[in-house]
Amino acid sequence: MAKGDALSLTDAKNIEAGTHPDPFSVLGRHTRGGKTTITAFDPGAAELAAVTDKKRYPLAPVEGVFGVFTGPGPKTKTYRLEARALDGSTWDYDDAFRFGPVLGEMDEYLISEGTHQRLWHALGAHVMTHEGIGGTHFAVWAPAARRVSVVGDFNHWNGRRHPMRTRGTSGVWEIFIPGLGEGTVYKYEIVGSDGAVLPLKADPVGFGSQHAPENASVVRDIGGYGWKDGDWMGARAGRNARTAPISVYEVHLGSWRRRMHEGGRSISYREAAEELVDYAADLGFTHIELLPVSEYPFDGSWGYQPVGLFAPTIRFGPPHEFRDLVDAAHRKGLGLILDWVPGHFPTDPHGLGRFDGTALYEHADPKEGFHQDWNTLIYNYGRTEVANFLVSNALYWLEEYHVDGLRVDAVASMLYRDYSRKEGEWVPNVHGGRENYEAIGVLQRMNVTVYGADQGVMTVAEESTSFPGVSRPVDAGGLGFGYKWNMGWMNDTLDYMQREPVHRKYHHHQMTFGLHYAFSENFILPISHDEVVHGKGSMWGKMPGDEWEKFANLRAYYGFMWGHPGKKLLFMGQEFGQRHEWNHNAEIDWACLGDEKHAGLQRLVRDLNTLYRAEPALHVKDCEGAGFQWIDANAADASVYAWARYGGDADAPVVVLCNFTPVERAGWHIGMPRSGKWREALNTDAELYGGGNRGNLGGVNAGGEGIAGFPASAHVTIPPLSTVILTWDGD
């Protein structure tokens, strides 16, 4: 080899070994000794040449180094490489090492600072045209790595073929590989600072993945979708508001409906865009909430142990088909909420754990970084880049997929450092306390960011403690969520409902206690998937008594729930009283609907949703104390409850009456908010729903002298195990 500015043997050997600290300084087109040279590495080639439209430039193999070729090249940047193998086969391709960087200095700065709100614009795999050539740009954050390479079938999974370039001190590595596009399967081969090659890693910001159990990332072009939901997007702020009727149908897409004649496969996003959307709309729900659809390796996690936070799971189709589902929901007048999991991630080798050979996304100390309950890793919320990764991911789903809201899973596990830990198994905060200030900061920043980008979205916290201000604005000291699941209400009322009616009078307060704090947060009343798994049985199965009593109890409870302040959420299958506990490996028990009692319960849920949406008094002040007034909260011996609901000044009030014993309460004397005719708008004992058709013959008249501070009164009949809802029809 020539001396001076020529390619050194050391450089060539390091390229061959995949150990060169800066392969872009060697490979590609360079000026050496005043001359243009091309250096390339192709271990499959016996001969290699650089070619242009006008000339061919043979490259000579470097003596003693396998696969490295070098030689004079064209002055133009636009050349290709032609290769010939020993068996005579040939191939040609654009040289990835002739292309300049894609990321700019501003990207580097924002990523380093942890303020790149749209991180997915910079990182991940992007199909693009760069310097006039089509291909895919790859970028990944791995600051402690000695080398990062993109590997896949296109380079025989050889990490020496496409090592990436570093970008300053940002810890980001990038490369543009020409010729790659939609559907390319890839991973990152990472060499840690100690020189050890790590297990191949999926892309943390990848937009697609292989079908499990395969786990490589897949290049997906997520640009260019033709949204048709402009009307919805322009009006959705009103649909998600505290004053709006919000009734959520929670769905695990993998087990809602299956194609039994096709091996029991789950329906696709596109099939759900028709069947699920039509079904939820027909039942009067306002929103669909999906259990997590971010890519996850283990079906049994139901999506709550995600690996690919930026990839809609391929189980049901590619990204554009998930958009089809969202778009269809919007055009049908339904919002779509996603469960979002920033609290932990699994330890799968291809995932985020020790991503660059260090505890990068997680805490190094297992007292801070390992969930004992779930055998998962906890994000290092105090690291700016990790916080940015999570906040940006929240914004990603809202912007790229037009999702209307995020329900954040297991918030309590994030808020407390001692969550599910014994003394000595956790690390206190800087003040010696249990609050996780860093996680609190991430949640606040997430809410500020997404609401700042679009005030029409909603965020919802599943928070099981009494942490103050979950749905209070951040600038007022809160976490900034739009809504919070009311777990206390759910636990108390379900405990009450599971008791035999004869014992309920001793637990009367369990149904009233929630009103002591009902307006301290913007609450959603959840009967979620968590209540029908792990041996808890179904909602129907929780109810006491014989078959008739089970249905009557459940109908009365749903009436209580829909009449109670707070937005509503019901998990799939419970709308028709599925008898068995939910099984994620099978579809919900649609055969139940062949039984008129189950069909009647489904009709009740439809009518409850319809009434809830139609009557402002039932939703406008769901989150305000001024929207609720007890009529009778103390009839414990009879297990009777009565209250009034109010909307705006121009809205007529609604009265809700509940009887949780199998004894009819006839002539029950109650105060009424107004004189006049009150229509029996809904009675859970109606024959239509499977009841005994007892009640008030269509309505009652209120008048005379009021009682208990109300201006009027009426004598009402409350059927056994029933809820009756009365609406004011006028004087």
- The two structure tokens encoding residue 330: 């919007």
384/393 Cα distance (integer angstroms): 14
Give yes or no for a cis peptide into 213 (omega within 30° of 0). yes
Contact 448, 394 (CB under 8 A): no
Give the number of C-alpha atoms closer than 13 A to the C-alpha of residue 70, restricted to the C-beta side. 28
Contact 718, 663 (CB under 8 A): no
- The two structure tokens encoding residue 542: 């929780």
Specify the residue for token string 């729903």.
689
Choice among 462, 463, 615, 680 that is catalytic = 462
555/561 Cα distance (integer angstroms): 10
Is 607 part of the annotated catalytic residue set?
no
429/435 Cα distance (integer angstroms): 7
Cβ neighbours, 10 Å, residue 728: 24
How would DSSP label each residue in 252-317? -HHHH-EEGGGTTEEPPHHHHHHHHHHHHHHTT-SEEEESP-EE-S-GGGTTSS-SEEEEE-GGG-
How would DSSP label each residue in 129-151? EETTEEEEEEEEE-TT-SEEEEE
- The two structure tokens encoding residue 458: 């909603």
Helix (H) or strand (E) holding 600: helix 596-614
Q: According to DSSP H, which parts of 45-195 are helical?
A: 105-113
Distances 180 to 219, 549, 729 between C-alpha atoms, Å: 9, 63, 67
Choice among 289, 368, 385, 409 that is catalytic = 409
186/197 Cα distance (integer angstroms): 16
- Where would I find the beta strands (DSSP E) of 85-203? 90-94, 124-130, 133-141, 147-152, 165-167, 172-178, 185-191
Contact 209, 216 (CB under 8 A): yes
75/81 Cα distance (integer angstroms): 15
Strands 133-141 and 124-130: antiparallel
643/673 Cα distance (integer angstroms): 10
Q: State whether the Cα torsion 129-130-135-140 is positive or negative.
A: negative
How would DSSP label each residue in 447-461? HHHHHHH-TT-EEEE
Q: Give the CA-trace dihedral at 206, 207, 210, 215, to 10 degrees.
A: 20
Is 409 part of the annotated catalytic residue set?
yes
232/648 Cα distance (integer angstroms): 25
Please enumerate in sequence order all residues whose Cβ is within 8 A of that of 106, keeping only pairs 6 or more positions apart, or say none. none
Please enumerate in sequence order all residues whose Cβ is within 8 A of that of 14, keeping only pairs 6 or more positions apart, or say none. 20, 21, 26
Cβ neighbours, 10 Å, residue 637: 9
Q: Annotated active-site positions, please?
A: 409, 462
